[in-house]
Amino acid sequence: MPALIYIHIPKTAGTAMRNFLCQHFAPEECYQVGESKQYRQGLVDMPSAQRDSLKLVFGHICFGWHELLTQDCIYTTLLRNPVERIVSLYYYIRSSGNHYLHKETEGMRLYDFVTSKISMTMDNGMVRQLCQDEDFMKIPYADMKLPFGSLNYNHLNEAKLNLELYFPIVGTVEQLPDYMSLLCKTMGWDIATLPVENKVPHPPIEHIDAKTLTAIEDIVQLDMELYKFTERLANEKAASLLRGE
């Protein structure tokens, strides 16, 4: 079985997925990536025998980490309705005292947060991670390749192509049972459900004022197209698996 690379997009059930996936591999077979850029270099500098034995790479990473490994790899990820994801991100940051943006967002309303450019993952973050741009989480780094607002349809098309070619397992949070079925069948595991973790209550989308909702929609236009594309692609992959293709 090829090594599995899980791209954890913030606020897409990633904590629960990490705990679930790690149950199926020995600790020495897993490489969990943290927020520092040093984790990428750590994988490069890892002794080749240790690196070649990895079966799971997981974290807030972008497409392209397979290039650091010599073994065969497959990718998987979960996407989420982009508007829901941004709202969930805001309320998670505000409720989590140890989040790196908690103090910086103190006193911010949702609208202030959305228009602050304080986190790159708000700016079509799903496209960012899946089109192979490495920096996406925090305020732009000095060497940011894609500054806030600079993504375009070329990046969207790259993300779509990567999902088609490299992600035999892909799904959405809104269709989580279907994703779990596809994942478990592909990996040869018993079908399982995913417990809810790190879920923070927030107002329903229909209760968000029009000004704030428009501000969110403006920064997730490409993500929304990618999300709709992923819904269709996930259904196609699931149907193909059922046909035994």
**Mean pLDDT confidence for 218-243:** 89
Tens-place pLDDT, residues 137-187:
555 455 567 788 889 999 999 999 999 999 999 999 999 999 999 999 989
Amino acid at residue number 105: T
| The pLDDT of residue 193 | 82
| Element of type H or E holding 158 | helix 153-166
Residues 239, 243: Cα–Cα separation, whole Å:
6
Tens-place pLDDT, residues 65-97:
999 999 999 999 999 999 999 999 999 998 888
DSSP state for residue 81 in the 8-state scheme: -
The number of C-alpha atoms within 13 Å of 171 and in the hemisphere containing its C-beta is: 18
**φ and ψ at residue 232, rounded to 5 degrees:** -70, -45
Question: Closest Cα partner for 82 from 222, 229, 233, 234?
Answer: 222
| The pLDDT of residue 109 | 95
Please state whether the predicted TM-score (pTM) of the whole model is above 0.75: yes
